[in-house]
Copies of this chain bind each other. A is one copy, B any other.
Amino acid sequence: MAIRQKCIEKRTALLNATLHLVNNNGFHDAPMSKIAKLAEVSPATIYIYFENKQDLINQLYLEIKASFSNDAFHNYDDTNTVKEGFKIIWNNIAHFKLNQVEKSMFLTQCDTTPMIDKESREKGLLHLQPLLDLWERGQKEGVIKPISPYLLYAFSIYPLGFLMTMQQRKSCEYNEVNLVDAFQSAWNSIKL
């Protein structure tokens, strides 16, 4: 039991180390040796928990994606009105990006580089289903524009990634006040 525990801790340390290095140095400067050093294990140990580097990255991606959707749909159920439901989800996502910067940065990087293989990316997509369902309901109710969910996502959710990046680069502060404005923009871009 204590042993099992220890194992999980090492795996977690490795995932955290990878997250940190990929975020700060980029995927091209996050070698296994540095990951091992940061996680305080031997390079060989990595291969006990992960098949190879690609597998390590993939697993990290999926775990973070899961953590993301777990937060995104917190306190949400489909008994709310569409707008209320959207506001809950949107705020959850915004706070995820605000508070879990490292995870968010990693996801943003994953969304735009060929470092994640197709299979993992497709698994990752499934996590958003409840939001897609909400939008579909909204369209039936005549509250949400009758346009592709890709467009809805692009204009209401995707912008949060930009705000997080800017905040990270100290270009822009991204606080509760801004969030109210931001939500207005998001909602205006998708509401009928």
Contacts and interface: CB of A to CB of B under 8 A. Distances in A.
Nearest to A174: B150
B113 A26 contact: yes
8 contacts: A28-B115, A113-B113, A147-B178, A148-B181, A150-B163, A155-B182, A159-B159, A186-B189
A185 B111 CA distance: 22
Interface in A132-191: 145, 147-148, 150-151, 153-155, 158-163, 165-166, 171-172, 178, 181-182, 184-186, 188-190
Contacts of A190: 185
Contacts of A108: 112
A181 B111 contact: no
Interface in A59-94: none
Q: How many copies does the complex hold?
A: 4
A13 to B, nearest CB: 20
Interface residues of A, number: 40
Given A112-B165, A148-B178, 13 more contacts: A27-B27, A27-B113, A147-B178, A148-B181, A150-B171, A151-B181, A154-B166, A155-B182, A155-B185, A155-B186, A158-B158, A185-B189, A188-B188
Given A25-B114, A26-B113, A111-B112, A162 B150 contact: yes
Nearest to A125: B171
A12 interface: no
Contacts of A150: 162-163, 166, 171-172
Interface in A106-125: 108-109, 111-115
Contacts of A148: 172, 178, 181
A24 interface: yes
